[in-house]
A and B are shown apart, each in its own frame.
Chain A
Amino acid sequence: MEYFVQQLVNGLTLGSIYGLIAIGYTMVYGIIGMVNFAHGDIFMLGGFAALIVYLVLVGLFGGIPIALALFVMIVVAMLMTGLWNWVIEKMAYRPLRGSFRLAPLITAIGMSIALSNFIQVTQGPRNKPVPPLVSSVYDVFGISISLKQIIIVMVTAVLLTIFWYIVNHTPLGRAQRATEQDRKMAALLGIDVDKTISITFVMGAALAAVAGTMYLMYYGVIVFTDGFTPGVKAFTAAVLGGIGSLPGAVLGGLMIGLIESLWSAYFTIDYKDVATFSILAVVLIFKPSGILGRPEVEKV
Chain B
Amino acid sequence: MALETDTMTKDPILKVEHLSMRFGGLMAINDLSFEAYRGDITALIGPNGAGKTTVFNCITGFYKPTMGMITMRQKAGKEYLLERMSDFEVNRDAKVARTFQNIRLFSGLTVLENLLVAQHNKLMLASGYTILGLLGFPTYKAAVGESIERAKYWLDKANLTDRADDPAGDLPYGAQRRLEIARAMCTGPEFLCLDEPAAGLNPRESLALNELLRSIRKDTETSILLIEHDMAVVMEISDHVVVLEYGQKISDGNPDFVKHDPKVIAAYLGVEDDEVEEVIEQIAEIAPGDTH
Contact = CB atoms under 8 A, between A and B. Distances in A.
Given a CB threshold of 8 Å, the question of whether A touches B is answered with: yes
6 contacts: A298-B62, A300-B53, A300-B57, A300-B62, A300-B63, A300-B100
Interface string B50-61: 000100010000
A118 to B, nearest CB: 37
Interface of A is mostly: loop
Nearest to A297: B23
A228 B271 CA distance: 64
Interface of B: 53, 57, 62-63, 100
Interface string A282-300: 0000000000000000101
A298 B60 CA distance: 14
Contacts of B63: 300
Contacts of A298: 62
Contacts of B62: 298, 300
A99 to B, nearest CB: 15
Interface string A154-172: 0000000000000000000
B194 to A, nearest CB: 14
Nearest to B54: A300
A298 B62 CA distance: 9
B86 to A, nearest CB: 13
Interface in A17-56: none
Nearest to A300: B62
Nearest to B195: A300
A115 B62 CA distance: 46
A32 to B, nearest CB: 23
A298 B87 CA distance: 13
A298 B64 CA distance: 13
B60 to A, nearest CB: 8
A300 B56 CA distance: 10
A184 B62 CA distance: 30
Nearest to B87: A300
A30 to B, nearest CB: 23
A300 B59 CA distance: 13
A100 to B, nearest CB: 12
Contacts of A300: 53, 57, 62-63, 100
A136 B109 CA distance: 66
A298 B63 CA distance: 10
Interface string A261-300: 0000000000000000000000000000000000000101
B29 to A, nearest CB: 15
A300 B100 CA distance: 7
Contacts of B53: 300
A300 B52 CA distance: 13
A58 B62 CA distance: 66
Nearest to A298: B62
